[in-house]
Amino acid sequence: MTALSALIRRDIRIALRVGGGALIGVLFFLTVVVLMPFAVGPDLALLSRLGPAILWLGALLASLLTLDRLFMADHEDGSLDLITMSRTPLELACAAKALAHWLAAGLPLIVATPVLGLLLNLDMVATGAVALTLLAGTPALTFTGMIGAALAVTLHRGGLLMAVLVLPLSIPVLIFGVAASQAAIVGPMTFGAPFSILCALSLVSLVIGPFAAAASLKHGLD
């Protein structure tokens, strides 16, 4: 347990310091959202209607962008080999790393959501709904994206290939995330049903993600 908490602390510290690049995700999120009014026009009514979808897409892309670093930096300096060989099960170590990554790169996205909601003319309820769904949904993005990150590090190929592999897997999260936000804003559905499915998706990926990532690291690293 201490090993895992040490791993989490170490990862967060590395991510937040110079060269970590966790906060670049927030900057990317901001840039994507700012780009949107240029594409669809500065129509506030339209923006507030599209708002939840824009925020979700931005968060999805931002969390995908930062995932590249999840195993790559550790692989480059050799600490990934130590983690693989340590007595802590690799599945738990992967889960700890993903949790640390979510705390360092995912949580800032949610904190930034109210500000971006202001830019998109979302009211309090809508912003709260989007932030809540992001809080429930981004762990799923991180934990499924971790599989892609593990594949990328074993294949020495990152970037586009990883995006192509991971994005189709994140479609359910996107569907239910946006559906729950829309349900809270305009109805007529209840917020509870899509939101609980979103939570279920996060829990499922919490289980599948570490096992798949650990399997691909175990078989792929040599």
CA–CA distance, 217 with 80 (Å, rounded to integer): 9
CA–CA distance, 161 with 204 (Å, rounded to integer): 24
Closest CB to other proteins among residues 150, 185? 150
Q: Cis (ω within 30 of 0) for the bond into 168?
A: no
CA–CA distance, 26 with 59 (Å, rounded to integer): 9
CA–CA distance, 173 with 152 (Å, rounded to integer): 22
- Cα 169 to Cα 105, 128, 139, 179: the distances in Å are 20, 26, 14, 17
Find the shortest distance in angstroms from Cβ 22 to other proteins.
25
Closest CB to other proteins among residues 15, 57? 57
Are 144 and 51 spatial neighbours (Cβ–Cβ below 8 Å)?
no
Closest CB to other proteins among residues 23, 175? 175
Of 178, 143, 181, give the one whose Cα is nearest residue 63.
143
Closest CB to other proteins among residues 50, 107? 50
Residues engaged in binding other proteins (CB under 8 A): 144, 147, 150-151, 154-155, 157, 161, 164-165, 168-169, 171-172, 175-176, 179, 197, 201, 204, 208, 212, 215-216, 219-220
Find the shortest distance in angstroms from Cβ 185 to other proteins.
17
Closest CB to other proteins among residues 116, 180? 180
Find the shortest distance in angstroms from Cβ 215 to other proteins.
5
Give residue 45's identity as a one-letter amino acid code.
A
